[in-house]
Amino acid sequence: MRRIALVAAALIGGALQASAQTSMAFLITPAELTAHDTLRPKYVWNVTNTYEAKQYGIEHVMFVGAPLTPEQRTAIGTNIDVILIPNNLDATISAIALPQVQSALEGLQIPAGWVTTSHTYRQVCTVVLKFFAFMNRFEVLHQRTFFEAGITLDTRINQLTQAQRDALTLTAQSMGLDISGITGPMLVRQALKLLGDQMPSTTVMGEVF
């Protein structure tokens, strides 16, 4: 497990935390509205000001990397709306953990039916971050959520309105993605996975996903 020794203090509401052993933690947490109407990662921003966040479009969910102490990690992980990713990113997902992982992601409108016990947590995070990037682009272009009323991951492409299909197409094309494999009967979750598979890797706090 990587450890980063902090010589400087992490601010908590003005109080200083003595030099603490931290390790890089990755989690999915709600984006919380803070002072100045700024969205920050819930539970993280008020224990450390050192983090990197990727937002799931306009869904107010963030994938976050932040150096946390074991105590901070445990405390944040107890929150029901947090998905705390195990320290060992390269461990495969156990049969016991698999439904929990899938349920947690699907609950946030993040497709997870493709996840199996042969995937590592890093591989899952990599794909999840590609979904994040796509929805990021959708929000930039259209200033609204993709998941308008009536649209779920199980909506078929041919059930979307023409305007919704056009918005999806425009988003994909603006990112140089090939939409030729998307068919009418295809589910939204399948289409997003097809598009996501074409996208490049990214980094969060220097970790490659």
| Residue 45 is a binding residue for another protein (CB under 8 A) | yes
Phi, psi for 38 (deg, rounded to 5):
-100, 130
DSSP class of residue 187 equals: B
Asked if 103 and 97 touch (Cβ cutoff 8 Å), the reply is: no
Nearer to another protein, 180 or 201 (CB): 201
| Residue 100 is a binding residue for another protein (CB under 8 A) | no
Nearer to another protein, 121 or 134 (CB): 134
| Residue 140 is a binding residue for another protein (CB under 8 A) | yes
Q: How far is the CB of 198 from another protein (least distance, A)?
A: 12
Q: Which residues contact 97 (CB under 8 A, 6 or more apart)?
A: none
Nearer to another protein, 47 or 93 (CB): 47
| Residue 8 is a binding residue for another protein (CB under 8 A) | yes
Please tell me the count of residues contacting another protein according to CB under 8 A.
31
| Residue 25 is a binding residue for another protein (CB under 8 A) | no
Among 20, 23, 30, 39, which residue interacts with another protein (rule: CB under 8 A)? 39
Among the candidate windows 15-23, 50-58, 115-123, 184-192, which touches another protein by CB under 8 A? 50-58
Report the distance separating Cα 101 and Cα 106, nearest Å: 9
Q: What Cα–Cα distance (Å) separates residue 98 from each residue in 17, 115, 160, 168, 203?
A: 36, 8, 30, 29, 24
* Token pair for 53: 């966040």
Report the distance separating Cα 63 and Cα 54, nearest Å: 5
Contacts to another protein by CB under 8 A: 8, 31, 35-40, 45, 49-55, 58, 133-140, 143, 175, 199-200, 202-203
